[in-house]
Amino acid sequence: MSAIDVPIREAPLISASRLLAERGFFGIVWLDAELQVTGRYGPLVAFVSIGKDVTETILPFAGLEADLLALRSDRHAVLDIPSVTIVTNGERTPRLNLAAVWSEAENCILILASRAVLSVDLEVELNRQIRARLIAEADVVAKSVELQHTNAELERANTDLEQFASVISHDLKAPMRELRFLADDVDAMLAAGDIDRSRTALAAMRQQSGRMSAMLSSLLAYATAAQKVDVLEDIDTAKLVAAVVNSLPRPPKIRVEITGDWPQLNTFGALLDLVLRNVIGNALAHHDRADGHVKVHASELKESLLIEVSDDGPGIDPAHYDAIFLPFRTLGDPAKGEPSGMGLAIVARALSTVGGRITVHSDALKTRGTTFSIWWPKSTVTIQKNCPTPYNVHSFSNDA
């Protein structure tokens, strides 16, 4: 006797069989000697009509009457019809395995109906579960990437906020303080009846007020630089750089030369304009001689457009490399009408938005001239890929 053939008392066996049949694991149909249905048990065989010929109610047995009757003489035989769906009156049964056997105890033919489970069912179910899992995993990855982007944005916003706080508290404070002192002076001068000096002080106040206004405009340009990435356009970069150069004020003897390969790009035109305008404008504005030469050269790399802006101006002390890309940091004097120091900060911010970078090569202690190298991504795909954090996009070197 094998392990599974442990004798079970009849009552629990019947009870278990009844439970399984009632739960729809199988159904039983009883046939008499004329192959008429005399009874059925279980919801799985609810479609079977009692009192009818089996071939009329369990259609797959139609034509197999002789085989059914032969079960009486071959009492160990089983007539199997696997995986059938019976469609009657528009209703479909579940897919069933049908098996007819002779019951010695009841002296009749029994038909056992059970739910058909084919390997293909398992495969379909497995595929369904794998697909559901893959979808769920992809969803998690997408959400994770989204979260990373959100965190990066948040970090960037925080950095912006800190930088703005710093700018407001330090850089804007100076002209504000100056205004207050000048107002005190005017007050004292008017009290003393010194009209001429008070007029001079008022003129200085207007100058400081103008400076503050210029600083606020620059600050606005800086703050909105990152918002210019909405529109992708087909840009003829050759035409764009020529237009930028032509629009910039410059001393008549400073020559601007545009060389190299300037391709057609589908890119953020407003930002590229902003970057070129500020870098070239920076080279022109800081030139210290009446005649000079600024060269704007482009070369196509695999994933980016390399734009080099070189001048023969005074150069930059390597000690100031960090400072020139920060807001309101300038080597000139804004109070004397020189640039406010926001140009390169705006460039760095714009490049951080598109995933580009900028380096500076200059050493004022040894020689004249500065070269800014800008790597502008050629495709938006590159932009996405190369945009991990906002402020690591510009690197500073004097040996590039």
Partner 1 sequence: MRPSAYKVMLLGQIGVGKSSIAQRLVFDRFDTSYKPTIGVDVYRYEAKTIEAEPVPMIVWDSDGNLGDAMFRHVYLKEASAALIIGDVTRNETIEAMPAIAAAFRERLPGRCVCYLVNKSDLSPPTPLQGELARDDTLLFHTSALTGENVTRAFAETARAIVRRAP
> Counting contacts by CB under 8 A, is residue 115 touching partner 1?
no
Per DSSP, 53 falls in state: B
**Residue closer to partner 1 (CB basis): 70 or 365:** 70
Per DSSP, 171 falls in state: I
> SS3 of 281, please?
helix
Which range touches partner 1 (CB under 8 A), out of 78-86, 133-141, 188-196, 284-292? 78-86
Which range touches partner 1 (CB under 8 A), out of 39-47, 60-68, 200-208, 217-225? 60-68
Residue 182 near residue 205, CB atoms below 8 Å: yes
**Residue closer to partner 1 (CB basis): 58 or 284:** 58
Q: ∠100-86-110 over CA atoms, to 5°? A: 15
Shortest distance, CB of residue 92 to partner 1, whole angstroms? 8
> Counting contacts by CB under 8 A, is residue 81 touching partner 1?
yes
Q: Which of 87, 126, 135, 141 touches partner 1 (CB under 8 A)?
A: 87
Distances (CA, A) of 222 to 81, 161, 266, 353: 79, 12, 24, 12
> Counting contacts by CB under 8 A, is residue 59 touching partner 1?
yes
Shortest distance, CB of residue 39 to partner 1, whole angstroms? 21
**Residue closer to partner 1 (CB basis): 61 or 262:** 61
> Counting contacts by CB under 8 A, is residue 120 touching partner 1?
yes
Q: Give Cα 17 distance to the centre of its chain.
A: 57
Shortest distance, CB of residue 34 to partner 1, whole angstroms? 12
Q: Which of 15, 49, 88, 264 touches partner 1 (CB under 8 A)?
A: 88
Strand partners, 264: 236
**Residue closer to partner 1 (CB basis): 62 or 381:** 62
> Counting contacts by CB under 8 A, is residue 70 touching partner 1?
no
> Counting contacts by CB under 8 A, is residue 82 touching partner 1?
yes
> Counting contacts by CB under 8 A, is residue 13 touching partner 1?
no
Shortest distance, CB of residue 89 to partner 1, whole angstroms? 9
**Residue closer to partner 1 (CB basis): 116 or 174:** 116
Which range touches partner 1 (CB under 8 A), out of 73-81, 141-149, 279-287, 323-331? 73-81
Complete DSSP assignment for 309-376: EEE-SS---GGGHHHHTSTT--SS-GGGT---S-HHHHHHHHHHHHT-EEEEEE-TTT-S-EEEEEEE
Distances (CA, A) of 382 to 140, 141, 304, 356: 23, 20, 8, 9
Cα separation of 298 and 311, whole Å? 15
Number of Cα atoms under 13 Å in the Cβ half of residue 278: 26
**Residue closer to partner 1 (CB basis): 35 or 205:** 35
Rg of the chain taking only CA atoms, in angstroms: 44
> Counting contacts by CB under 8 A, is residue 64 touching partner 1?
yes
Q: From edge to edge, which strands make up the β-sheet containing 254-260?
A: 254-260, 292-300, 304-311, 370-377, 357-362
> Counting contacts by CB under 8 A, is residue 49 touching partner 1?
no
Q: Which residues sit at the interface with partner 1, rule CB under 8 A? A: 53, 55-56, 59-60, 62-67, 79-88, 90, 92, 95, 116, 118, 120-121
